[in-house]
Chain A
Amino acid sequence: MTVQPTGLADYNFAYLDEPTKRMIRRAILKAIAIPGYQVPFASREMPMPYGWGTGGVQVTASIIGPDDTLKVIDQGADDTTNAVSIRAFFAKVAEVSTTTSTAEATIIQTRHRIPEETLGEGQVLVYQVPIPEPLRFLEPRETETRKMHALEDYGLMHVKLYEDIARNGHIATTYAYPVKVEGRYVMDPSPTPKFDNPKMDQSEALQLFGAGREKRIYAVPPYTSVVSLDFEDYPFEVNRFDEPCALCGAEGVYLDEVVLDDRGGRMFVCSDTDHCEKRRAAGHRGAMASEGTLA
């Protein structure tokens, strides 16, 4: 993607003023030092509504440099409004190069997915987080939830999983599935599907989480243990899909359901568009892929 130079990046690199970036970097450093702990920070107004990734954008703006390559995904896709807009935003205010390729990116800002391709050392995954507090819907008082984190008083988290099993016969939480980081803090991995939880464990990439409205930053440093909570007799399981991707034939990936018509026609395709495109370019074909086109 190329954007005409506007001079905005010279006025102030990456939109935020320098003292703000310094403040956010300090919060990030503390978050990395205490994996899973939610660090409060002075979230700024951004030129976008809350819920569109203001937290992620501020984290990205604070860590991005002129040599970085940025990829932005929204539910795994590079081509949705949110992803395109944020990519264009940084191309304009930081004049960084952008990409849709997971392997080429140094910073990947994500809304609710972790790319299928394994991330490596030196890459940073920035999550947009709507509600950072995993205990929020169980305990509405922030004063109390902070105390619970401080005292490692996490019995309530299992009450939620117990309720799930009692009502549904299995743990029905499929996204924002709570994890314990490095054996200490219970953390909300943002509303990623629980399918992605195992990818967080011992990841080589640095994972940063920014919640703009809630004014919290937290982090999982590389090579950190991330364990999904469960019961001995109801162990953690990831979602399974009955059929492979209809376009690229991939198995063991997270699929989106796409409704095709009003007569019940549907297809399941990779939620990670970059992964799907690369596979098709390499010659893989799914059941509904027409020759020569990219759906």
Chain B
Amino acid sequence: MMTQGDSVSPHPEPIEGRGETANPPLRQAQGDGLPALAEEKPLLSASGVSKFYGSRIGCEDVSIDIWPGEVVAVVGESGSGKTTLLNCISTRLMPTTGTVAYRMRDGQIRDLYRMGEAERRFLMRTDWGFVHQNPADGLRMTVSAGANVGERLMATGARHYGNIRATAGDWLGRVEIAEDRIDDQPRAFSGGMRQRLQIARNLVTGPRLVFMDEPTGGLDVSVQARLLDLLRGLVTDLGLAVVVVTHDLAVARLLSHRMVVMKDGRVIETGLTDRVLDDPRAPYTQLLVSSILQA
């Protein structure tokens, strides 16, 4: 959770319908209020994360917990340190100070930056996903859509062509790409299709945590809407925990349960999405919310 003045209680338990990752004791305890919460641990827990680029601040002293099955939006203006934070907690960028701990599938809590690189890579392609703003960064543009989706399977030891192809075809269907496009290269895809393909490629190994950097950036409004709809469905069905970085408050409103507002590398406000958007407290958040164009 945020360390700074956060009076709103965090959203510590999975939303209903996100049951796949919730463990049974928690579900039973839901009726009795919060006593079981002490047993439940966050999936990812960053504390005191700072990143300095020389004397410049990327992000400073950020602490954040990600709970199973919740969607957290990180919002803020350009240059506020959103992406730096995302990269720091997803092991893509070594923070200057601070620790990032992750609860592995076996329940063990590990410091990500103390893990070996082989182990970290394995984690990134099994238990995690990373959706880039530009699909070309997250896809192999010169291999077919099927191979793009199948790559993670092959990297984790799948050696049966028929099965890999069937799984890839299934996932293309789930992200609304026609199955007869399975042998086409992403170069032949539209922007929205590429983004959906990138999502399929990330979700094929059934990750528990997905990082998204402006997933709808650069798409036109109608395509954005469809993509958000798709994402919302997938996130709910699979019980994914998601950290989504966006400058678009509408995306945050639609997708996220909890919001983190950043400015100048620091977290200035955090809370449930509806609360932050309807009743912003920090002056900067008020400015941000009021600057949305009303259609």
Contact = CB atoms under 8 A, between A and B. Distances in A.
A42 B161 CA distance: 41
Nearest to B160: A232
A231 B159 contact: yes
Interface string A150-161: 011111101100
B9 to A, nearest CB: 42
Interface string A3-40: 00000000000000000000000000000000000000
Residue of B152, B155, B160 contacting most chain A CB atoms (<10 Å): B155
Interface stretch (A67-75, A163-171, A245-253): A163-171
A255 B143 CA distance: 32
A169 to B, nearest CB: 11
A166 B140 CA distance: 16
A162 B160 CA distance: 10
A242 to B, nearest CB: 27
B118 A152 contact: yes
Interface in B114-163: 117-118, 121, 125, 140, 143-144, 146-147, 150-152, 154-156, 159-162
Contacts of B182: 166
A185 to B, nearest CB: 15
B164 interface: yes
B56 to A, nearest CB: 26
Contact size range, A? 10 to 19
Interface in B174-193: 182-183
Residue of A151, A155, A232 contacting most chain B CB atoms (<10 Å): A155
A154 B160 CA distance: 15
A234 interface: yes
B41 interface: no
B151 A155 contact: yes
A162 B152 contact: no
The interface residues of chain B, by DSSP majority, are classed as: helix
B165 interface: yes
A158 B154 contact: yes
A166 B152 contact: no
Interface in A133-183: 147, 151-156, 158-159, 162-163, 165-167
A28 B143 CA distance: 36
Interface residues of B, number: 23
B190 to A, nearest CB: 21
B147 A159 contact: yes
A221 B121 CA distance: 31
B160 A159 contact: no
A151 B117 contact: yes
A233 interface: yes
Contacts of A233: 160-162
B144 A155 contact: no
B197 to A, nearest CB: 15
A231 B156 contact: no
Contacts of A152: 118
A160 to B, nearest CB: 8
Residue of A166, A231, A233 contacting most chain B CB atoms (<10 Å): A166
Nearest to A165: B161
Contacts of B164: 162
Contacts of B162: 233
A153 B140 contact: no
Interface in B26-65: none
Contact of B151 (A147, A151, A159, A234): A159
B291 to A, nearest CB: 41
A158 B154 CA distance: 6
Given A153-B155, A155-B155, A166-B165, 5 more contacts: A152-B118, A155-B154, A159-B147, A162-B161, A162-B164
Interface of B: 117-118, 121, 125, 140, 143-144, 146-147, 150-152, 154-156, 159-162, 164-165, 182-183
26 contacts: A151-B118, A152-B118, A153-B155, A154-B155, A155-B125, A155-B151, A156-B155, A158-B159, A159-B147, A162-B146, A162-B147, A162-B161, A162-B164, A162-B165, A165-B161, A166-B144, A166-B147, A166-B182, A167-B144, A230-B159, A231-B160, A231-B161, A232-B159, A232-B160, A233-B160, A234-B161
